[in-house]
């Protein structure tokens, strides 16, 4: 079936754009954004996914209000629809819309869902060039479970957000954040039988994009149960000061980390990481956890609003809960992004910044002493 994008020279297969390069049901194409005010009073995130082979598109927006206080709470709105055939129509799901104002430079996120307590009009403006992370490929037995590309970018947010009728203006430079774009194959949609078991369920993921005054740093690792890494990356991006725009990020030769887990959980009590360049001295960083944002607010591990699940022609809903949650090892609460204060040492000197440490740790991980699916340390 032809669509409007077929009029552009963007084809990667002999088929029309509407036909994916793979017939795998888990083919996906996704936006993710996060943002946090410098005074940490507000944390928000948005996500939008397209699953062409499942004929589903979905989106969520979630915000933590008064994080780290006795009044802390997380509020979310979710939407799901039948996926459009024409990719030109794939930027809106119910009350949530993502608009590319200038590719790789500026994007707009709007939400109009007052019945669920959320309205916003926010623009993400780059403060770094986009980073292409090393390709993700993970296979369990004969089955490919992940084969995807992801881009990460740092930026500032401008605009306004209204939560439960309370309007907050975000002036330029007041709100930092990051975004990613990923596409390819990864587990989405309703669970299906996979045949004979070949490995215990396990996933270990740490991701830490951090904003500093004049630069940004990137870190991530995926590890097997014994600590062997199947994916890792580290980058350093300099915030541009001239008219020529941002320079490409410097890729690190290696990364390393040290973590202490909160007792009884799979969330970090303290975290240190090292960015090791090809030449010169490494940069080390201490990340101090401030409060958690639960990725369930964007559909990740959500029991009702999971990614790529068929819910009908158009469905919209919302939920909210108090923070911290009562059971942090519940399956739907294990995946978190923790807002962190970061302090550097080593090659770049001493700087303080803000960012996130994403943690999604399922199953056994021997270096951490973790056993079972969701048991805490």
Does any domain span residue 337?
A: yes
pLDDT at position 7, please? 84
Q: What is the pLDDT of residue 244?
A: 76
> Is 13 within a domain?
no
Instruction: Check whether 152 has a pLDDT greater than 80.
Output: yes
Predicted confidence at residue 353, as pLDDT, reads 98
* Model pLDDT, residue 118: 98
| Whole-number Å distance between alpha carbons of 173 and 71 | 26
Say if residue 346's pLDDT is above 90.
yes
Q: What is the number of alpha carbons within 13 Å of residue 176 lying toward its C-beta?
A: 22
DSSP-derived secondary structure letter, 368: G
Q: Does 21 reside within a domain?
A: no
How far is residue 51 from each of residues 29, 34, 83, measured CA to CA in Å?
7, 22, 7
Q: Which residues contact 113 (CB under 8 A, 6 or more apart)?
A: 61, 77, 94, 95, 96, 119, 316, 318
Q: Within a domain: residue 103?
A: yes
Distance of CA 131 to the CA centre of its chain: 14
Q: Give the pLDDT band (50/70/90) at residue 193.
A: confident
Question: For residue range 350-375, what is the model confidence (pLDDT) as tens digits?
Answer: 999 999 999 999 999 999 999 999 99
Task: For 154-176, write each residue's pLDDT tens digit.
Answer: 999 999 999 999 999 999 899 99
Between CA 189 and CA 195 the distance in angstroms is 17
Residue 331 maps to a domain:
yes
* Number of domains making up the chain: 1
24 band by pLDDT with thresholds 50, 70 and 90: very high
Please give the Cα distance from 29 to 14 (Å, whole number).
Answer: 19
Query: Does residue 156 lie within any of the structural domains?
Result: yes
Residue 16 falls within a domain, yes or no? no
For 103, residues 6+ apart whose C-beta sits below 8 A from its C-beta are: none
The contacts of residue 235 (CB under 8 Å, 6+ apart) are 131, 217, 218, 249, 250, 251, 252
> Are 122 and 174 contacting, i.e. CB atoms less than 8 angstroms apart?
no
Average per-residue pLDDT in the chain?
95
Q: Read off the DSSP letter of residue 360.
A: E
Question: Which residues have C-beta within 8 Å of that of residue 300, sequence separation ≥ 6?
Answer: 307, 335, 360
Looking at residue 8, its pLDDT comes to 85
The dihedral built from the CA positions of residue 260, 299, 93 and 63, taken in this order, carries a sign that is negative
pLDDT band, very low/low/confident/very high, at 2 (cuts 50, 70, 90): confident
Q: What tens digit of pLDDT does each residue of 25-81 get?
A: 999 999 999 999 999 999 999 999 999 999 999 999 999 999 999 999 999 999 999
Q: Which two tokens stand for residue 275?
A: 């960015």
Looking at residue 191, the DSSP 8-state letter turns out to be -
Is residue 1 pLDDT above 90, yes or no? Answer: no
Q: Is the pLDDT of residue 199 over 90?
A: no
The pLDDT tens digits for 71-128 are 999 999 999 999 998 999 999 999 999 999 999 999 999 999 999 999 999 999 999 9
* Nearest alpha-carbon partner for 210 in 128, 124, 265, 136: 128
pLDDT band (50, 70, 90) for residue 210: very high
**109 near 122, Cβ under 8 Å?**
yes
pTM value surpassing 0.85: yes
pLDDT (mean) for 223-236: 97
Q: What 8-state DSSP symbol labels residue 282?
A: -
pLDDT digits over 231-282, tens only? 999 999 999 877 778 899 999 999 999 999 999 999 999 999 999 999 999 9
Residue 288 in domain? yes
CATH number for the domain spanning 318: value is 2.40.370.10
Domain region containing 163: 26-188+200-368
Q: Alpha-carbon distance 26 to 23, whole Å?
A: 8
Residue 194 pLDDT greater than 90, yes or no? no
Q: Which residue has the higher pLDDT, 277 or 8?
A: 277
CA distance linking residue 8 with residue 64, whole number of Å? 40
**pLDDT given at position 337:** 98
């Amino acid at each position: 079936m032809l669509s409007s994008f077929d009029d552009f020279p963007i084809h990667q297969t002999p088929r029309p754009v509407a036909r994916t390069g793979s017939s795998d049901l888990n083919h996906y194409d996704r936006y993710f954004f996060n943002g946090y005010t410098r005074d940490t009073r507000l944390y928000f995130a948005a996500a939008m996914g397209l699953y062409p082979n499942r004929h589903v598109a979905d989106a969520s927006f979630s915000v933590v209000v008064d994080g780290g206080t006795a009044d802390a709470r997380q509020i979310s709105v979710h939407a799901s629809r039948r996926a459009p055939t024409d990719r030109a129509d794939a930027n809106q799901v119910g009350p949530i819309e993502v608009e590319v104002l200038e590719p790789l430079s500026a994007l707009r996120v709007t939400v109009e869902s007052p019945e669920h307590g959320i309205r916003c009009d926010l623009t993400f403006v780059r403060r770094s060039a986009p980073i292409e992370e090393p390709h993700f490929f993970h296979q369990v037995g004969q089955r490919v479970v992940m084969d995807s590309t992801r881009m990460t970018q740092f930026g500032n947010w401008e605009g306004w957000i209204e939560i439960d009728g309370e309007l907050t203006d975000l002036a330029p430079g007041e709100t930092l954040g990051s975004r990613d774009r990923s596409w390819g194959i990864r587990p989405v949609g309703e669970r299906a039988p996979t045949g004979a078991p070949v490995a215990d369920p396990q996933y270990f993921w740490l991701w830490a994009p951090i904003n500093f005054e004049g630069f940004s740093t990137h870190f991530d690792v995926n590890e097997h149960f014994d600590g062997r890494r199947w994916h890792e990356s580290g980058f350093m991006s300099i915030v541009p000061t001239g008219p020529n725009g941002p320079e490409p990020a410097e890729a690190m030769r290696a990364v390393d980390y040290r973590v202490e887990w909160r007792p009884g959980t799979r969330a970090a009590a303290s975290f240190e990481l090292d960015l090791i360049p090809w030449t010169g001295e490494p940069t080390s960083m201490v990340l101090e956890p401030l409060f958690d944002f639960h990725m369930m607010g964007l559909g990740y591990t959500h029991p009702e609003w999971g990614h790529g699940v068929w819910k009908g022609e158009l469905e919209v809903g919302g939920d909210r809960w108090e923070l911290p949650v009562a059971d942090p090892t519940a399956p739907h609460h294990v995946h978190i992004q923790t807002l962190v204060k970061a302090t550097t040492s080593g090659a770049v000197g001493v700087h303080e910044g803000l960012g996130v440490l994403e943690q999604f740790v399922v199953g056994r991980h021997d270096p951490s002493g973790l056993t079972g699916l969701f048991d805490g340390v």
